[in-house]
Amino acid sequence: MIELENIAYSYGGGELLSDISLKLSPGSFHFLTGPSGSGKTTFLKLCYGALVPTAGQVRIFDQDVREMDRDDHALARRRVGVVHQDCQFLDHLPVADNVALPLMVSGRDELENVSNLKELMHWVGLGNRASALPPELSGGERQRAALARAVIMSPDVVLADEPTGNVDWEMSQRLLQLLIELNRMGKTIMIATHDLNLIRAAKSKVQARVLRIAGRKLQLAGADL
């Protein structure tokens, strides 16, 4: 589904990532760890085509990123849900409308999906905040809304950048369970996180591969996690 082959990425005159190869196959579950500044967010952006590698090849659904035009990228984004760390919303629209934007843009805002939207808003703990405006949300609420928006279209791949960074442990477990359920439906999941407790909790429920970025390289993390 997403394949990186010997990719490198340079930023500000220095190499941030080097000689990385990875294949995200259908139904796989990955955690991505590494210290701050190691390149986790950059790596995720390479996976969904927001950045182009300075060397090597990235293929998204069998298309080379360098050969994709605007329409190709738009179609790919419908199949890849992204939870950004700095999630952006349209501040003049209620939270529920922000979450439903992908449905409206794709013309899929029919009755069934409206029902799914309500269920999803309750699942992420925002059922009573559906009519609130984004500036009224806390950091944790914004993150939960970002996750809901990323999965509302039931994408084939979900790439989540620190999706539980601003929520308490109980809610982080709830959001993790949502991602696990999506994975059981055959979706490919990658979560970038610093939270080793979250990874340990997940490994008792799902067969997850833990990757670590260190020294510009991608490594398989140790069994002590």
- Report pLDDT for 20: 94
Residue 62 counted as domain residue: yes
Q: What is the mean pLDDT of the chain?
A: 88
Q: How many domains does the chain have?
A: 1
Q: Which CATH number goes with the domain that contains 66?
A: 3.40.50.300
Dihedral in degrees, nearest 10, Cα atoms 159, 165, 170, 176: 10
Residue 119 belongs to some domain of the structure: yes
The mean per-residue pLDDT over the stretch 13-37 comes to 91
Checking if the pLDDT of 134 tops 80, the result is: yes
How many angstroms from the chain centroid is the CA of residue 35? 18
pLDDT at 129: 92
**In which band, very low, low, confident or very high, does the pLDDT at 113 lie, cut at 50, 70 and 90?**
low
Q: What is the DSSP letter of 20?
A: E
Alpha carbon distance 167, 198 (integer Å): 12
Flag whether 206 is in a domain: yes
pLDDT value for 21:
94
Q: Between these two residues, 28 and 222, which has the higher pLDDT value?
A: 28
From residue 51, how far is each of 3, 46, 146, 188, 190 by CA, in Å?
A: 14, 5, 20, 20, 17
What is the domain extent for residue 185?
2-220
Residue 162 domain-assigned (yes or no): yes
Q: What is the mean pLDDT of residues 206-215?
A: 92
Collapsing DSSP states into helix, strand and coil, what is residue 3?
strand
- Kindly state whether residue 225 falls inside one of the protein's structural domains: no
Whether the pLDDT of residue 102 is over 70: the answer is yes
Q: Residue 160 above 70 pLDDT? A: yes
DSSP string over 139-186: HHHHHHHHHHHHHTT--SEEEEESTTTTS-HHHHHHHHHHHHHHHHTT
- What integer pLDDT is reported at residue 110 of this predicted model? 54
Q: What pLDDT does residue 225 have? A: 44
More confident residue, 57 or 105: 57
Q: What one-letter code names the amino acid at 104?
A: M
Residue 211 has pLDDT above 90, yes or no: yes
Structural domain contains residue 116: yes
Instruction: Please count the helices (runs of H) and the strands (runs of E) in the chain.
Output: 7, 10
- Confirm whether 39 is domain-assigned: yes
Per-residue pLDDT band for 37 (boundaries 50, 70, 90) equals confident
pLDDT of residue 223: 45
Give the per-residue pLDDT at 108: 61
Sheet holding 55-60, edge to edge: 14-24, 2-11, 55-60, 63-64
pLDDT value, residue 218: 92
pLDDT recorded at residue 65:
94
What is this structure's pTM?
0.89
